[in-house]
Structure 1
Amino acid sequence: MSYLPLEQYQRKWIFTHQSMPVPAEDLEQIKPMSQMRAAQFWKENLSAQSPDAERFSSQDWPSKTNSWLHEVEWMSEWESDDEALPEAILEHIDWQDDVTVYFCYEKYNVIETKWSVFKRHWKNFLFYDDGPILLGRRRQQALWFNTNGTVKLGQHE
């Protein structure tokens, strides 16, 4: 099985929390990967050795400074009433709404969804901001969110 039913996902509450509930039609498009599939995706796209963002080695592309163009602030917009992603992120990523994206919390915790769903509910995804990286299928741009309230905008290998 490639995906877990959302009901079985350990962090399901971030999408069903009463303060920011995600509508049912979008919940259907939020697909947590099974641990085995997430680990495979992580190994192929982020790191063969490191289990999470805190332990990337110098060989892992996210650790290379030339992977990142610049860093912008996201926390103030997360805390605001504005639902939109920060403008700098939208300028960096000009994907079509139906692009498949992968929000990678750590080796065994990767969520697949559509760019449109992520844009609408990015605040839910960032209830956990412990270094997640967003990648798009067959796209070079990447986002690396940090607990300090910044996000690195860059390109992956």
Structure 2
Amino acid sequence: MTYIPLNDYPRKWIFTHQSMPVEADDLDKIKPMTQARSAQLWRDNISAQSPDADRFASSDWPSKTQSWINEVSWMDEWDSDDPELPEAVLEHIQWQDDVTVYFCYEKYNVIETKWDVFKRNWKNFLFFDDGPILLGRRREEVLWFQTNGTVKLGKRSA
């Protein structure tokens, strides 16, 4: 099994909260992965040894300065009534809407969805902003959201 039902996901409330409810069509496309599948994706794409963003080893690509192109604020847009991602993020990530993305909270907590679903509902995903990383399937561009309200824009191949 690759996914757990959204109703069984411990953080389901971030997508059903009355202040920012996610449309039913989008809820169907938000797929939390099982712990085993999350761990495999994390090992293969982020870190073989570190369980979360707070403990990256110097050999992990997120720790390398050359992986990062820019860092911009996301907090002002998150707090605003504007639903759009920060412009710098949209300029950095120019994927087709149907690209599969992985929002990686930590080694055992990864959500799979589509880029258009993430763009529409990014504020929900960031109710937990403890260093999550957004990857696209077979894409090198990456986002690393920081707890200080900034997001690092980078490339995995760096």
- Fold conserved between structures, TM > 0.5: yes
Q: Match for residue 24 of structure 1?
A: 24
CA distance in 2, matches of 1:154, 1:31: 24
Q: Tell me the SS of whatever aligns to 2:78.
A: helix
Q: Match for residue 80 of structure 1?
A: 80
CA distance in 2, matches of 1:2, 1:19: 30
Once the 2 structures are TM-superposed, how far is the Cα of residue 16 of structure 1 from its aligned partner? 0.2
Q: What TM-score do the two structures reach when normalised by structure 2?
A: 0.99
Letter in 2 for 1:5: P
Q: Tell me the SS of whatever aligns to 1:47.
A: coil
Confirm whether residue 108 of structure 1 aligns to residue 117 of structure 2: no
Q: Match for residue 44 of structure 2?
A: 44
Structure 1: gaps of 5 or more residues = none
Once the 2 structures are TM-superposed, how far is the Cα of residue 82 of structure 1 from its aligned partner? 0.2
Computed over aligned residues only, the root mean square deviation of the Cα atoms, in angstroms, reads 0.4
CA distance in 1, matches of 2:103, 2:130: 12
CA distance in 2, matches of 1:59, 1:31: 30
CA distance in 1, matches of 2:156, 2:10: 28
Write the deviation string for residues 12-60 of structure 1: whole angstroms up to 9, x where unpaired: 0000000000011100000000000000000000000000000000000
CA distance in 2, matches of 1:140, 1:109: 21
CA distance in 1, matches of 2:25, 2:76: 28
Once the 2 structures are TM-superposed, how far is the Cα of residue 105 of structure 1 from its aligned partner? 0.2
Letter in 1 for 2:141: Q
Once the 2 structures are TM-superposed, how far is the Cα of residue 131 of structure 1 from its aligned partner? 0.1
Q: What TM-score do the two structures reach when normalised by structure 1?
A: 0.99
CA distance in 2, matches of 1:93, 1:46: 18
User: Which consecutive segments of 4 or more residues in structure 1 shift more than 6 A?
Assistant: none
Q: Tell me the SS of whatever aligns to 2:14.
A: helix
